Copies of this chain bind each other. A is one copy, B any other.
Amino acid sequence: MIDALFGSGLSRAVDGVFADAIRAMNDTDCIRVAVDIPSGLRADEPSSGQIVKADHTISFQTPKLAFLFPSHHKFVGEWHVLDIGLDKDFIRKQDVSHFVLTSRDIRKRLKTRSTYDHKGNYGHVLLVSGSYGKTGATVLSARAALRSGVGLLTVCVPSCGYVVLQSSVPEAMVLADPNERVISSIPELEKYSAIGVGPGLGQSGETVKALQSLLEQSKKPLVIDADGLNIIAEHRNLMHLVPAGSILTPHPKEFERIVGRWSNDFERLDKQIDLARQLNSVIVLKGAFTSIAAPDGGVYFNPTGNPGMATGGTGDVLTGILTGLMGQGYNCQEAAIVGVYLHGLAGDLAASDLGFESLIASDIIAYLPAAFQKIRNSGKKNQRHF
């Protein structure tokens, strides 16, 4: 975890002649390069006043926290980090709680497999997903869970998804809900080592009740995504039922439905940390530099991924990966760190072959094996993947 994030930066807004200078610079047609940090931008707090709008920012040793927020993109542009030989032990000892993940962080968390392991060692996962017209989400989650290493997979879908799932994912067992169009009930949960819920669920009354029943019965942590989150945001009484040790994976709009508005990205981060503490769970806020807030206050920013992944179904794939990892015995923090990084890395490998436009969610599943292999091989060659 060598990429701790810390930085000095200015303590107040730029004004006066300096502000005029920045304004003038921003008005030119030139390519602007900032060194360390764009003038006027604060590394660890909200900024105000004039700020240089750099096309490129060259920083040292570690990126600044501010670089990782969408709202700063117009100031920071594309950023680059140079290793200037600062003492790494010193960095490691700093009392920081914000980190950028590296492939080494993933590699050392990956479980190894033993010759005599059997299906039981890798868990039996349940996915609760789908509604009429949205069972494709279930297919994507299921395939991703399987490619993440789970031992057994059972999928709970409305009856309308029965043929779809059995045709598309022969490795999965299917529990068809008696309801044709929506999830209306929850099976016995005891035998499952992890449960993922949310993709394509919809928010019908039956499904709200089913989710409540799932939250009440589950003694194991959950991965909750998409409409699972939207239902909880609408029915706040469900919030306290979320089992400790779960993973919630909102995108910014879903997050806003849960925690309300924020005035800037620092506040958004605080809300994320607060929610993680409150639920004693991991909150994965999806986007560029997805942030993973752990219950202990630690935040992990993910450097993998690309705008080609901004396409329908990639979130369902992440849910499958995270549930698959939880099922194999990764705890919520490990699963989120490993899963989010792998998901983005698979997307990067796919984009490198297919380009941004043509990348679809299924490609991320198809490149998941290569992502696992790349992490493992990076260890062998002692290469560092950022």
Instruction: Report whether B173 and A136 are in contact in the complex, using a CB–CB cutoff of 8 Å.
Output: yes
Q: Decide if A277 is an interface residue (CB 8 Å cutoff).
A: no
Q: Decide if A38 is an interface residue (CB 8 Å cutoff).
A: no
Q: How far is the CB of A340 from chain B (nearest CB, A)?
A: 16
Binds B, one of A139-147, A231-239, A378-386: A139-147
| Chain B residue at minimum C-beta to C-beta distance from A137 | B170
How far, in angstroms, from A287 to B121 measured CA to CA in the complex?
A: 12
Q: Decide if A191 is an interface residue (CB 8 Å cutoff).
A: no
Instruction: Report whether A312 and B115 are in contact in the complex, using a CB–CB cutoff of 8 Å.
Output: no
Chain A 154-186 interface mask (CB, 8 Å, partner B; 1/0) = 000000111110111111111110000000000
Q: Return chain B residues, CB-CB under 8 Å to A354.
A: 369, 372-373
Q: Return chain B residues, CB-CB under 8 Å to A172.
A: 136, 312
- Given contacts A119-B312, A312-B151, whether A356 and B113 have CB atoms under 8 Å apart is yes
- Given contacts A113-B307, A113-B308, A360-B147, whether A171 and B369 have CB atoms under 8 Å apart is no
Q: Decide if A336 is an interface residue (CB 8 Å cutoff).
A: no
Q: Decide if A376 is an interface residue (CB 8 Å cutoff).
A: yes
How far, in angstroms, from A161 to B148 measured CA to CA in the complex?
A: 27
How far, in angstroms, from A244 to B117 measured CA to CA in the complex?
A: 32
Instruction: Report whether A73 and B116 are in contact in the complex, using a CB–CB cutoff of 8 Å.
Output: yes
Binds B, one of A20-28, A101-109, A127-135, A213-221: A127-135
Cβ < 8 Å to B, chain A residues 336-371: 353-362, 368-369
Q: Decide if A278 is an interface residue (CB 8 Å cutoff).
A: no
Q: Return chain B residues, CB-CB under 8 Å to A355.
A: 369, 372-373, 376
Instruction: Report whether A140 and B170 are in contact in the complex, using a CB–CB cutoff of 8 Å.
Output: yes
Identify 5 new A-B residue pairs, CB closer than 8 A, beyond the known A134-B174, A146-B360.
A73-B115, A113-B356, A118-B251, A149-B356, A172-B312
Instruction: Report whether A146 and B308 are in contact in the complex, using a CB–CB cutoff of 8 Å.
Output: no
Instruction: Report whether B310 and A122 are in contact in the complex, using a CB–CB cutoff of 8 Å.
Output: yes
Q: Return chain B residues, CB-CB under 8 Å to A353.
A: 369
- Given contacts A114-B73, A312-B151, whether A166 and B119 have CB atoms under 8 Å apart is no
Q: Which 9 A-B pairs have the closest CB atoms?
A: A149-B357, A136-B170, A358-B369, A113-B307, A354-B369, A139-B170, A70-B116, A117-B307, A133-B174
What is the copy number of this chain in the assembly? 4
Contact partner of A372 (CB less than 8 A), chosen from B117, B166, B252, B357, is: B357
A-B contact pairs, 11 of them (CB 8 A): A115-B288, A118-B252, A118-B287, A122-B311, A133-B166, A133-B176, A146-B312, A147-B360, A355-B372, A355-B373, A355-B376
Q: Return chain B residues, CB-CB under 8 Å to A318.
A: none
Instruction: Report whether A311 and B162 are in contact in the complex, using a CB–CB cutoff of 8 Å.
Output: no
Q: Return chain B residues, CB-CB under 8 Å to A167.
A: 163-164, 167-168
Q: Return chain B residues, CB-CB under 8 Å to A168.
A: 167, 170
Chain A 14-36 interface mask (CB, 8 Å, partner B; 1/0) = 00000000000000000000000
Q: How far is the CB of A21 from chain B (nearest CB, A)?
A: 27
How far, in angstroms, from A353 to B288 measured CA to CA in the complex?
A: 30
Q: Return chain B residues, CB-CB under 8 Å to A369.
A: 353-355, 357-359
Q: Return chain B residues, CB-CB under 8 Å to A135.
A: 166, 170
How far, in angstroms, from A159 to B176 measured CA to CA in the complex?
A: 15
Q: Return chain B residues, CB-CB under 8 Å to A121.
A: 307, 310
Which of A140, A306, A307, A358 has the most B CB atoms < 10 Å from its CB?
Answer: A358
